[in-house]
Amino acid sequence: MALLRKTLLMKGGGGGVKVFGPSAGSYFDTIGEIWSQEAGSYFDYKTGEVALFVDAPPSQQGAYFDRV
């Protein structure tokens, strides 16, 4: 299953986060589709910047417990 991925540059801001598309020039004041790291989005730290993978389906995890 392919992981849809967009790499954007992220700069932290007080009270929220703005994401700038480096080629498209667009940005979003709020990012409803960014989940926590545990939910599947993740961060790739680069020099002075953060590459942020957004709009990507959460990568699956597979575990279960016996219930009875």
Footprint on this chain of another protein (rule: CB under 8 A):
1, 3, 32-33, 35-42, 44, 57-68
Please state the closest distance from residue 33 (CB atom) to another protein, in A.
8
- In the bound state with another protein, the residue whose beta carbon lies nearer, of 26 and 67, is 67
- In the bound state with another protein, the residue whose beta carbon lies nearer, of 25 and 45, is 45
Measuring CA to CA, which residue among 17, 11, 14, 46 is closest to residue 29?
Answer: 17
Please state the closest distance from residue 25 (CB atom) to another protein, in A.
26
Angstrom distances, CA of residue 24 to CA of 10, 38, 52, 68: 14, 28, 15, 52
Locate 44 and state its tokens.
């790739």
